[in-house]
Structure 1
Amino acid sequence: MGTIPAEELGIVAVHEHIGYGMPGSELDSKWWKTPEERYAETVPKLRQFHEYGGGTFVDATGICNGRDVDYYKSLSKKTGVHIVACTGFVGGDTALPHFARASVEYLAKVFVHEITVGIGDTGAKAGVIKVGVSRGGRMTELDKRIYRAAARAAAATGVPILTHLAIDPQPAIEIFNQEGLPLDRVLFGHADDGLNAPNTPSEWIMSQGGRIGFDTFGYETELPDPPFWARPRKERLDHFMDLVEKGHLNQLLASADANCSPLGWPGVKGHTVNYIFEDLIPDLRRAGLDEASIKALFIDNPADFLSIHA
């Protein structure tokens, strides 16, 4: 709906999805939903988020994965929640051939256009750039092209970068350094999930200046039907608190990576963005995190990260 002053962002869910699916999911007859069904599924979750005190929902759904900016605008008007859209790709393996075959220069131009001019004819501009590591656990050559294009666009426009996975970070950090992008403009995401946390050098990334996203809170092995990336609730919380106790609070951000209305797959039942308020913040308080630290985690750190740095 327009540029948001950082001080008006409020409590931020920094890595979420209005509706995420793989390219082509809109053609899947089993899981296809009408716009009305998606709307009915999504609005109550965002209204509850707003009632709990949530201010801003960062949609980390990239190009080709179900991003629908006109839909986001209608949801924002309906619920009062600021929605930040992204440009970029969840990973090279989600980029359709038109983009997968494109040069770094072309991709950077696309990203810059969506940030400075707008996304399609919506009149809305992207506020973050999404990049990611493709399936397999190592950055592909396409991933590296996308990361380099994102680094150039971020350096040119001042918007930050969100990553899908923080595994294999050395090539990413080399690219960001080569392109002159300060690493505090990068949030290395999904550092906490059960599948990738053992292979994510979170403290090394932070030592290089990067930020770390514990943004799969709520995907727990205790769920009735947990996803393959689930992790025991206490294990994730203990991991997070260990990093806080080591003095890394200012480089940490937290979110739930929830999917309001999944596209082309059933999603994970029993998990929404409101896990942040219903479970995570109470867990953090019980673990000893004070109110100033909770404010830093959900208000101050995201505001600094999302601010456009000229």
Structure 2
Amino acid sequence: MSKVNTVLGTIPAEELGLVAIHEHIGYGMPGSELDTTWWKTPEQRYEETVPKLRAFHENGGGTFVDATGICNGRDVDYYKSLSAKTGVHIVACTGFVGGDTALPHFANAPVEYLAAQFIHEITVGIGATGAKAGVIKVGVSRGGRMTELDKRIYRAAARAAVQTGVPILTHLAIDAEPAIAIFREEGLPLDRVLFGHVDDGVNAEKTQDTWIVEQGGRLGFDTFGYETELPDPPFWARPRNKRLEHFLRFVQGGHADQVLASADANCSPLGWPGVKGHTVNYIFEQLIPDLRKAGVDEETITKIFVESPADFLSIKN
């Protein structure tokens, strides 16, 4: 039976239910916890977060994958309390959103050290929490090209993924060629990698999405809800119909088994105001209804949100 690491323990993949594959309990840049403008008490964060997770659960959501890396506000004891309170399975990650978010202690470390860090968090636990990471986060630093540090982190992540059997989730899918070269050099099958944010408004046109799928990788359409139609859209917003059309091109074009979807929402952003009105529940409020209106059948919707995430998150070693 396939297993998945959640913050409350390792569970059968069949118990995950509907999965939001790329979300955040609270994401912030290193140092945001010291920002006097946006600092929040634990009580304020809890008050903002619990209703969103409860609504997710009531809508039929089973599992929330928190893609907040090391140094970006990851708080696993907090995740454990939220999971116990709301009934939502929470999967925590090890790794980094990008090399430019790694503090010097990690940024100056060799591949071997980084791989050992990731492996420890997956097999032993994160800090003293006892909770094991269920996915590895990597990313392309600002600028649109992988830096030498990014490449070091990707290589360490690939080694950890091969040894532990957990998958890799990327921040941005741009500059995919060196990433895929590293994964292949380390012997990691590309179906164990979800190339994220292929649909964001800044990078969608630059992303080799078709090529990634042809190589065997998975595509993460995981910025749903960041729309130009919002009252105050973020810089990475995109027209709702354009993102949906992009997604449907793969769903209805023979690649429904290689795409996953999410909203990349923050329950309680750290060090920045976030995007008002945008939550993980966009999946239920807009995305799934939009897919049904476009003629996507229930079997395919189940594949995208239940079956494929369970297969992706399963420990395979």
In 1, Cα distance between the equivalents of 2:251 and 2:223?
Answer: 17
Amino acid at match of 2:88: V
Partner of 1:50: 57
Partner of 1:78: 85
Amino acid at match of 1:2: G
Partner of 2:124: 117
In 2, Cα distance between the equivalents of 1:130 and 1:31?
Answer: 25
TM superposition score normalised by structure 2: 0.97
In 2, Cα distance between the equivalents of 1:265 and 1:39?
Answer: 17
Choose from 153, 162, 169 the match for 2:169. 162
Partner of 2:262: 255
Partner of 1:296: 303
1:246 counterpart SS class: coil
TM superposition score normalised by structure 1: 1.00
1:277 counterpart SS class: helix
1:18 aligns with 2:25: yes
Partner of 2:133: 126
Partner of 1:31: 38
In 2, Cα distance between the equivalents of 1:72 and 1:62?
Answer: 13
**Is there any run of 5+ residues in structure 2 with no aligned partner, and where?**
1-7
How big is each residue's C-alpha offset from its partner over 1:53-74, in whole Å with a ceiling of 9 and x where there is no partner?
Answer: 0000000000000000000000
In 1, Cα distance between the equivalents of 2:36 and 2:196?
Answer: 31
In 1, Cα distance between the equivalents of 2:311 and 2:10?
Answer: 15
In 2, Cα distance between the equivalents of 1:245 and 1:19?
Answer: 33
Amino acid at match of 1:126: A
Deviation at 1:47, TM superposition (A): 0.2
1:49 counterpart SS class: helix
Matches within 5 A, 1:219-238: 219-238=226-245
1:94 aligns with 2:101: yes
Partner of 2:218: 211
Amino acid at match of 1:13: A
In 1, Cα distance between the equivalents of 2:17 and 2:209?
Answer: 26
**Is there any run of 5+ residues in structure 1 with no aligned partner, and where?**
none
In 1, Cα distance between the equivalents of 2:226 and 2:274?
Answer: 11
1:3 counterpart SS class: strand
Amino acid at match of 1:194: G
Choose from 289, 303, 308 the match for 1:282. 289
In 1, Cα distance between the equivalents of 2:203 and 2:157?
Answer: 23
Amino acid at match of 2:80: K
Amino acid at match of 2:171: H
Partner of 2:179: 172
1:4 counterpart SS class: strand
Deviation at 1:244, TM superposition (A): 1.6
How big is each residue's C-alpha offset from its partner over 1:87-117, in whole Å with a ceiling of 9 and x where there is no partner?
Answer: 0000000000000000000000000000000
1:308 aligns with 2:303: no
Deviation at 1:242, TM superposition (A): 1.1
In 2, Cα distance between the equivalents of 1:64 and 1:239?
Answer: 32
Amino acid at match of 1:182: P
Q: What CA RMSD, in Å, does the superposition of the two structures yield over aligned residues?
A: 0.4
Deviation at 1:4, TM superposition (A): 1.6
Identity %: 82
In 2, Cα distance between the equivalents of 1:36 and 1:273?
Answer: 20
2:64 counterpart SS class: strand
**How many residues align structurally?**
310
Amino acid at match of 1:138: R
Deviation at 1:195, TM superposition (A): 0.4
2:153 counterpart SS class: helix
Amino acid at match of 1:58: V
How big is each residue's C-alpha offset from its partner over 1:31-55, in whole Å with a ceiling of 9 and x where there is no partner?
Answer: 0000000000000000000000000
In 1, Cα distance between the equivalents of 2:249 and 2:172?
Answer: 20
Kindly report structure 1 stretches of 4+ aligned residues shifted beyond 3 Å: none
